Each structure stands twice: as structure tokens, then as C-alpha cells.
Structure 1
Amino acid sequence: MTSTAGYDTAFLSTIDLDPPTRPGLVVLPYTHFTVAIDPDRRLAASTAVNIDGPQLRDVERGDDWQLDPRLPATQQAGPELYSSNDLDRGHLVRRRDPVWGNAAIAKQANADTFHYTVCAPQTATLNQSKTLWLDLEDYVLDHARQYGQRLSVYSGCIFADDDPVYRGVAIPRGSSKSQPGNKTPSSPRPDTSSARHPRWGRSSNVPPAPTPLSPARPVPNLPGTDRGHRRRDRAVDAPTRRRRSVHASARCSARTWTVD
């Protein structure tokens, strides 16, 4: 059973922040988020979720994927699209994002994210990579949790007329995610601008900008430079070079033991 509350447009401000939309979409509210399905493409054109950092909860993941009974099966991409292939069911609304509030609500929000209407076909490289989609999801959620922030996040499929068709579904080749703004209900982060570093003259946790390097200049072939040494080394026979190498190693070892 899904919640009819859905995404709250006034979650961050007294001014409503409406999610991206267009005509022809079917809007499905869930617990703390809303999905807008394109019934022709059978995938979500947009999703919108509210994240309450101070109230986030850890709930066991589960994996009970199901169709949404409020929408005809012919208007949503179901298990047949993901069977026996390398496509991931990529959450457009990250499973952990709406999981906040009391225990019962958080548990329902977690279950709501396992509807096929909430996911899109993604390659494992995109969906699971620590430098791509997953990394972006981690950054948003960790930021909300660490700084006690309330966030609203919009995601969706990027549809194109020439998307390749697979098992009757045109597979989008791109996804979008945006965070329009945030609100911190608790005390603001401390101002460290007055914490001046004695050497840098600025905030102690901000290093100074590096000094620009001067343009590189060619090294002349002068006697006594490294280039000259390399030329002379090439003229030395191999046995002599080996003896020099052994003597140098012995000296380094002796210095090492002396220091210790």
C-alpha cells in the first residue's frame, strides 16, 4: 500500500517548488516522493523526492520489486525488461532518500521505492560506479545527513526519439538529477571565516592558492650539468659503472645505519 502524500512542494519554502512536468504524464504519489510516468515510454519522465537529513533512518533494503496497481501493466516497464541481461533496475529516487520519519513511515517509504515505476534501465557501470550515478547519490544523501539539511531532489529519464528499442521499450541513453535548493532546520554551520591562519592570513582549513609557476626554460648543455654527467657516463665501460653502483649503494646503506 503506497502513501498518497507524495512530494511536498512547500518542503523547503513557503513558495511552492513544483517538479519538472509536461502534458501527458501520469502522476503517482508515494511516501515522500512523486513519480511522473510517460505511459508511452513506460518509464518515469521525472521524479521528485523530499529528504529530511535530521530524520533519516536506516532500514533494511529488501528487494521486493512490483508493478504499481494504480497503473496498467502495459504502461510500466516490468520484470520482463530486466530478465536475463545486464541491465540494472536503477533507482531514479534513491532507496534511502525518502526513508525518514517514524519507523512505520520510513519502512513504507523504503518499500515504495521498489516499484518498477521508480526505476529505469541502467548499465551497471552507470548505476553502481563510485564516480558516476552512485557517487552523486552518496554525495547528496551524505550532505543532508552530515549537515542536518532538508533537500529536494529531481531525477528522471532523458528521452530521445532515436532511443534504441529493446523488448518493446525504448531505452533512454541518459538520466538527469538536480537539487534546486536546501534548507537547514537546525542551527547553521559555524562561521570559520574569523579563524585566521597565522601564516596564510585566512581560514585555517583553507590552504593558500599555489604560487604560479614561471614558464619553463630549456636547460643548456653546459659542462658540469646533469646532461654533461650523462654524456660522460655513457663513455665509461660497463664494469666500471657496476663498481660505482655497488660503492654508492654501500655508502647509502652506511648512512642509513648511522642515522638509525
Structure 2
Amino acid sequence: MSWGYDSGFLRAGLELPVASVETVLLDYTHFSVRLRPDRKLAAIVGVNINGRELDPLAREGTWHFDPRVPKEQQAGPEVYKNNAFDRGHLVRRLDPVWGDAVTAKKANQDTFAFTNAAPQIDDFNQGKELWVGLEDHVLGHADTFDARLSVFTGPVFRDDDPPYRGVQVPRKFWKIAAWTNDAELGAVGFVVDQTSLLDKVELEKATRRRLLEDEPPPLGPFRTFQVPIQDIADLTGLPLDGLVDADRLARGQRALGEKPKAVYLESADQIRL
């Protein structure tokens, strides 16, 4: 059984980025979480996906605290009770579910740890469908080579994120998918924004007023954008140098004499690989 994110999973090698703030590294089956205890949420998660061995297990799992971390450092069930927040899987449930039957079942249950969840408004519409389908599309591309992906996901933390039941709710989330072609690393990055949907939850009055006074978010409500990975590095403060160098979007735009910029996606076919 493979335990934790494996930096050697891709032929080019790829380490799990380390946040500049204090985090706790938690290894699970085929994935790892760097938890920020001060935010009660993951700063980054990394998962290895073996597309040729994926096991399409039914959605069965029990949300649970990770006993290795004090409960008060995890955003638990009280954050999600009787409101519009979903327990949003950061490592997508089926991503680490591969290998033999025992390993796949363990990986499935591991994804239901509260350390792998973040509060996301339930009303994603097409944006959510596209967001969760990005890896499938990139995996199809990777299948030409070795059918393997390493995927990183996390929230964009800001000091003024709105407080709710003891947790500051992230407005934006990001995802990076990486693969290798003859040992050359390729990567693509994506961002979604839930700011304008947060009025579905009874936030503190001062917070609600401030959000309403803010200019509309540039990305729109759960619209999905492919973005230069450098933008994700700037937003998160994570060291993503190797992934920035491997960014297929930025490389293609520079080849056309363009400055790297975000591209709004209405379908997965628009992803620039």
C-alpha cells in the first residue's frame, strides 16, 4: 500500500510544495495534506493518480476527524451543519482510489477526513461540473504517455476572508495538474471564485456588508479559469518554480508573443495543454 504523496510518482520527479507558514504534514493513501492549524484547513493537498488502475467505487464514506491532529485544529461538522456549505473534497474522492481492492477502499475512506475538506457553496452549477472534470480531461491527455498525474489543490487564503463558525472561509480555490512526457514535466493551473455566492450563508453582518461593497470578483461565481501557474504562486505564496517552468498555458502564450494571462473556460475542450 502506498502511503502519502510520492514525489517520484512522475518520471520527472515532483515534490509536494511547502507553505511558508506553519503546517502539519499528514499522509494518507496515495495523497498528503499540509494542514494549516491556524486556519483549520489544508494549505495544499497533493495526490498521485494512476489512471490505468482507477477503481470506480461507489460514493461511500464517513466524514471523520484525523486523530493525529487536535479536533479544535480541524474544520469539523459544525461548520457545515444546516447551511449551504458542502464539505468540498480538496483531493477529489476518486483520485487516490486505485490499486488492489483493499488499498482502493482505504483511499476512498481517507478522502473523507475533515483535513481534506473546505467549505464550498453547494450551488456550483456548470462551474462545479467543469471544475471536477478538469483532471479527467488532462488525464486523457496524459494517457498518451504514462496515464499518471500528480495534482495539487488548495484554497487561496487571505487575512480578510469572512469568518464563519470559527473558520475563515476561503473565497477562491486553485488546482494544478502535472504529468510527464518522456520525463519532461508538463503542468496546467486553474482557479475558481465563490465570493459572490457567499450571501447564501448567514455571515456576520459586518462581513456581509464588506463583501457587498467590494467590487465584483474578477473570476465570477464558480466560473473556472485556466491561469498561469505563476499567478497561483503569487496568490498563495507557495514555491511552485518547477511547475511554473512546466506551465503549458504560459509557454504557449509566450510562443505567440502574448503576455501570460487567464483564460475563461466554458468547456474542458478549451484547456490549453
Q: TM-score, normalised by structure 1?
A: 0.64
Q: Is the CA contact (8 Å cut-off) linking 2:66 and 2:115 kept in structure 1? A: yes
Q: Secondary structure at the match of 1:35?
A: strand
Q: Is the CA contact (8 Å cut-off) linking 1:149 and 1:184 kept in structure 2? A: no
Instruction: Give the aligned partner of residue 132 of structure 2.
Output: 137
Letter in 2 for 1:121: P
Instruction: Report the alpha carbon displacement of residue 17 of structure 1 after superposing the two structures with TM.
Output: 2.8
Distance 1:157 1:181, change over 3 A: same
Rg comparison, structure with higher value: 1
Q: Secondary structure at the match of 2:123?
A: helix
Runs of 4 or more above 6 Å deviation: none
Spell out the pairing of 1:21-170 with structure 2 (5 A cutoff): 21-126=19-124, 129-130=125-126, 132-144=127-139, 147=143, 149-170=147-168
Instruction: Report the alpha carbon displacement of residue 42 of structure 1 after superposing the two structures with TM.
Output: 0.2
Q: Give the Cα–Cα distance (whole angstroms) in 1 for the partners of residues 15 and 52 of structure 2.
A: 21
Give 1 or 2: higher strand fraction. Answer: 2
Distance 1:33 1:17, change over 3 A: same
Instruction: Give the aligned partner of residue 5 of structure 2.
Output: 7
Aligned residues: CA RMSD: 2.1
Q: TM-score, normalised by structure 2?
A: 0.61
Q: Is the CA contact (8 Å cut-off) linking 1:92 and 1:156 kept in structure 2? A: yes
Letter in 2 for 1:180: A
Instruction: Report the alpha carbon displacement of residue 125 of structure 1 after superposing the two structures with TM.
Output: 2.4
Q: Give the Cα–Cα distance (whole angstroms) in 2 for the partners of residues 176 and 139 of structure 1.
A: 12
Unpaired segments ≥5 residues, structure 1: 186-260
Q: Give the Cα–Cα distance (whole angstroms) in 2 for the partners of residues 182 and 174 of structure 1.
A: 28
Q: Give the Cα–Cα distance (whole angstroms) in 1 for the partners of residues 76 and 123 of structure 2.
A: 21
Unpaired segments ≥5 residues, structure 2: 184-273
Q: Give the Cα–Cα distance (whole angstroms) in 1 for the partners of residues 181 and 99 of structure 2.
A: 17
- The answer to whether structure 1 residue 173 and structure 2 residue 171 are counterparts is yes
Instruction: Report the alpha carbon displacement of residue 135 of structure 1 after superposing the two structures with TM.
Output: 1.5
